Amino acid sequence: MSDLLRLRLRDEPRLLWIDAVCINQTDNVEKTKQVMLMRKIYENAVSVLVRLGEGSEESGFTFR
């Protein structure tokens, strides 16, 4: 199952802001503007989910 599908709620809509999708990663001007807004986005969020990427053998040590 994809990561986005796992974020869905069963019986209600969920608004997601995903920086890798919502920000044009190849446009440095846009990235700069959007990154400046991220503090406000996170401060006003009801909850925040963070995905750091695929794990490795060593990544388990980070969360012990």
| Per-residue pLDDT reduced to its tens digit, 7-64 | 888 899 988 877 767 788 889 998 898 888 888 888 888 888 777 777 777 766 555 4
**What's this model's pTM, rounded to 2 decimal places?**
0.49
Give me Rg for the CA atoms of the chain.
15
Domain ranges of the chain: 3-63
